[in-house]
Each structure stands twice: as structure tokens, then as C-alpha cells.
Amino acid sequence: MKILVLNAGSSSQKSCLYDISNNTSNTIVRGLPAGAPEPLWEAQIDWVPQENAARIKVETHAGKEHVETVPSPSREKTLSYLLGLLYQGPTRVISALDEIDVVGHRVVHGGQTYRSSVVITPEVKATIDRLSVLAPNHNPANLEGIELMERLLGDEVPQVAVFDTAFHSDISEVAATYPGPYGWVGEGIRRYGFHGISHEYCTQRAAQILGRSVDKLRLIICHLGNGASLAAVEHGRSIDTTMGFTPLDGLMMGTRSGAVDPGILIYLMRQGMPAQEIDRLLNKESGLLGISGVSHDLREIGEAIAQGNEKAKLAQEMYLHRLKACFGSMLMSLGEVDTVVFTAGVGEHAAGIRAAACEGMAFLGVELDLEENAKAPVDRDIATAESEVRVLVIHTQEDWAIAQECWRYLYPASPSSEA
């Protein structure tokens, strides 16, 4: 079985093709993330809107690699071109697209409608479209990929929507309800949370690394990438998270502001700024980029700091301040924590950010092994043996988690219930 996964983000598009053999099917049905096989084919598009271009990188299991920058008149045309590299050119791994058996899509916002993954139907597409107002940088791109695959593969090939909000759908009414008019509840204005696919994967993987039952763990998971969120996880379930009604809430991010005083927005509107402009400012021109004026990338901000750039220094210090403040919020929701997880681009690769964050956790008995932390280990515990709280770095594998969901929905009678 060949499972194609499309994972569309706000600034990039990841795609993977998994070839599921008898050796890996047991891993899927038992839900063992450690058994994630290497994709047969893996690709990423990074959009460069200011140049109307896209940077494409493709790698195959056989070790072939292809990198190019192409004109990008539209996301759809660029994605269609990328998928052509599956069956033609140096990265060809199949003879034709009709070898694909099922397609899985990361869909950012499922609202209150979808609390688990679903096979995509016209009704599901309509709901994803309706919810685009809550995730304008994501849901339209997710829907675009779904409709493109329908045109390329026809209606015979099933597609599965895996929702980023689903993992957080069980958080309590107390945590989910905003302190506005109670009428907001009936309008669906509530905390939904995002990055749920990653948070759920890391929950299961943490239990496996530690050799403990997921039901016995109290975790704070730090998904730190261009988009960033924390989740408080108790007994395998999300009980609180920093993102809210939209992915704009919570932490300071690469280009997103995170939480700001809503009075600022009222002030800007009274000054005549239209909603579309405010949206652009908060989503595209804030966060690390907005403060530093240099980049949304902490690596480039670090280089600017080394050259004496004070705004870059301020941006990094603000990032850490907001991270520690939000960590405290998750800790209060849990009451206690036994494991902290760092994941995603920054969480997995920025040893300095991990070290600085853990300094703020010293009162919990966190002791970081600085040598292990500096080695940038993957899927390992980087705390000292004496530390009262375990600190894990986990390589989040959202694409594999989506592939697992595709298998489970195609074979609902499989032993997945044993996982």
C-alpha cells in the first residue's frame, strides 16, 4: 500500500509517500511511532512570495536528491509540479499517480465538528471551507490540496482529513471558554488549540522513550517552530494549550504576534486601519520578524545578535520571556509535571533556547545535561540522572501520524484498538 501525505503549513508544504509493506503494517496498527519507516519519497516546498517563486527539495529512500527554485504563479500549480516528480525525473519512485492507494491531509481547523479524523466527502470539504475564516492561512491551502488530488486521482482514491484541533477537543469547558459574553459559546467562539497531531505524537513517543504508560505521565510539550504552542497533557489527554480560537494566540512566534492586548486592535481600528491590514500585521509582520527587523528565523537572529544588533537581542529575550510565562500557565493547569518535551524546528535544533528555558524551570528540580543538550540528540532524554523532571527532545513525525490515521480509517477492523 502506498500512502501519500500532504502537510500544508502557512509558509511551506511537506509531502511524503510511504510504501507500507507487511513489515511496517504491524507498526501502524499498533500505533508505535518508534517504528516509523523512512518515506519512499519526501519533499518540501518553501514559498517565497516576494519573488513569486518556490524552493523545492526532494529526497528519496534510495538517496537521490533534487533541489530547485521554480516560478510559482499559484500554490496549486507548484504542488502539481512537485507531485509530478513522484513519477518522472531523477526522483521518480512510482510509474504513475494511480499507484497511490490513499491520501492523508493535515487540516488545521476542524472546529467543534470534527473531534477525530474522517474520510473526506463533499460535506467534509464544505465544513473545512466554512472554517477557513478561523484559519485563513491554513484551511484554504489544505482544501486546495484535497481538490487537487481529486482532480489528479479521481473519486476512487480515498482521502482522509486529520485535524490539528482534534487532540485538544476534550479540554474542559473552563479552559475552552473565553470570558466574553456567554453568547460566544453558541457562536463557536472558544479555545480550539492547534498542533494537535504533533502534540499527540509526542505524547505517545515520550511514553515509549521513558518506558512508562502514557496514563501515568504529566507532560508539558513545547512545539516550537515558525508557529509555536505549548500543551499540558495529563493521562494522554490535552487539558490546556496556548493557541486558542485561531493559531494566532499564545506564544510569540516567527511572524505571528501571539497574545496581545485586544485593546491594541480596537485602537488600530479607531485609527482607521482595516481588518485585513491588522490581520496581515499580526500574522505576517509580527513576532520575531516584527521585533528584530531581521528574520523570523532564530538562527539568523543569533547571527545578528553576534554582530551587536540590539533589536535582534530584544526579540530573542522576548521570545524566551513569553515561552517561560506560557510554560507557567501550563504548569498551573497540570498542578505538577514529570516530563518536558521540546519538538519542532526550534525545539529540536536550538540548544541555546532549550537551555535558557530549562534555567527558568530550575525551581521544579530540572537539571539539564549541558553536554547532551549541545549534541542535539533526537528522541532522547537530555536531563541529568538527578533531575526530578525528565527533559526530552523528540523529532515530531506528523506525516507518519497522518499515515497511521489513513491506515486505521481504511481498516477499522484492524488491531488498532489494541494500541
- The count of other CB atoms within 10 Å of the CB of residue 151 is 9
Residue among 105, 83, 240 nearest 160 (CA): 105
Maximal CA-CA distance, the chain: 63
Query: Residue 7: what residue type?
Result: N
Q: What is the DSSP letter of 363?
A: G
State the catalytic residue, choosing from 19, 98, 101, 164.
Answer: 164
- The count of other CB atoms within 10 Å of the CB of residue 146 is 21
Q: Which three cell numbers stand for residue 151?
A: 482532480
- Looking at 7-130, list the stretches that DSSP marks H as alpha helix, in order from N- to C-terminal side: 22-29, 75-84, 122-130
**Separation between Cα atoms, residue 282 and residue 290, nearest integer Å:** 9
Q: Is the sign of the CA dihedral 82, 88, 91, 92 positive or negative? A: positive
- The count of other CB atoms within 10 Å of the CB of residue 373 is 19
Decide if 369 is catalytic.
no
Q: Is 183 exposed, middle or buried (0-12, 13-18, 19+ CB in 10 A)?
A: exposed
- Looking at 137-285, list the stretches that DSSP marks H as alpha helix, in order from N- to C-terminal side: 139-153, 173-176, 183-186, 196-210, 262-270, 275-284
**Separation between Cα atoms, residue 365 and residue 152, nearest integer Å:** 54
- The count of other CB atoms within 10 Å of the CB of residue 21 is 9
**Separation between Cα atoms, residue 190 and residue 278, nearest integer Å:** 21
Q: What is the DSSP letter of 38?
A: P
The CA distances from residue 76 to 43, 138, 222, 413, in Å, are: 15, 14, 32, 35
The CA distances from residue 151 to 80, 272, 307, in Å, are: 10, 43, 51
According to DSSP, the residues that pair with 119 across neighbouring strands are: 160
By DSSP bridging, strand 12-19 and strand 41-48 are antiparallel
Provide the annotated active-site residues.
164
